[in-house]
Amino acid sequence: NDHSLPGTDSQAAADLLAAHGAEPEDRTARVLLKHADGLDADRDRIAALLDQVKALPSVDSVQDPWSAGGAVSRDGTIGYATVALDEGDDPLPAEDLTRLLDTVREAGGDGLVTAVGGEATRGAEEAGGGAAEGAGMLAALVVLVLFFGSLVAAAVPLVTAVFAVGGALGLIGLAAHLFTVADFTPPVMMLVGLGVGVDYALLIFHRYRTELLAGADRHHAAVRAMDVAGRTVLFAGCTVIIALLGLVVLGLGALQGVALAVALTVLVTMAASVTLLPALLALAG
**3-class secondary-structure state, position 59:** strand
- Do both 240 and 263 map to the same domain? yes
Of 110, 125, 140, which closes a domain?
125
Question: Which stretches in the chain have pLDDT values below 50?
Answer: none
For residues 39 and 46, give the distance between their C-alpha atoms in angstroms, rounded to a whole number.
8
The candidate with the shortest Cα–Cα distance to 282, out of 219, 231, 230, 239, is 219
pLDDT at 22: 62
pLDDT at 284: 78
- Do both 115 and 219 map to the same domain? no
pLDDT at 95: 83
pLDDT at 2: 65
pLDDT at 26: 66
- Do both 42 and 146 map to the same domain? no
Q: Which domain holds residue 54?
A: 20-125
For residues 52 and 82, give the distance between their C-alpha atoms in angstroms, rounded to a whole number.
14
CB-based contacts of 140, cutoff 8 Å, min separation 6: 157, 158, 194, 198
pLDDT at 1: 66
pLDDT at 195: 85
pLDDT at 124: 65
Residue 39 DSSP one-character state: G
The pTM of the full predicted model, rounded to 2 decimals, is 0.63
- Do both 136 and 121 map to the same domain? no
Of 125, 150, 171, which closes a domain?
125
Q: Could you give the count of Cα atoms lying within 13 Å of 216 in the half-sphere of its Cβ? A: 15
Greatest Cα pair distance, the chain, in angstroms, is: 83
Ordered DSSP codes for 3-16: ---TTSHHHHHHHH
- Do both 141 and 274 map to the same domain? yes
pLDDT at 77: 92
Residue at 2 is within a domain:
no
- Do both 181 and 116 map to the same domain? no
**3-class secondary-structure state, position 103:** helix
Residue at 72 is within a domain:
yes
Residue at 3 is within a domain:
no
Check which CATH number belongs to the domain holding 272 and give it: 1.20.1640.10
27-51 per-position pLDDT tens digit:
788 899 999 888 888 888 989 999 9
Residue at 237 is within a domain:
yes
**Is 97 buried (19+), middle (13-18) or exposed (0-12) by CB count in 10 A?**
buried
Q: Are 12 and 4 in contact (CB under 8 A)?
A: no
3-16 per-position pLDDT tens digit:
677 778 888 888 88
Number of domains in the chain: 2
For residues 205 and 278, give the distance between their C-alpha atoms in angstroms, rounded to a whole number.
9
- Do both 155 and 265 map to the same domain? yes
For residues 29 and 11, give the distance between their C-alpha atoms in angstroms, rounded to a whole number.
21
CB-based contacts of 144, cutoff 8 Å, min separation 6: 153, 154, 157, 158, 198, 202
For residues 40 and 77, give the distance between their C-alpha atoms in angstroms, rounded to a whole number.
8
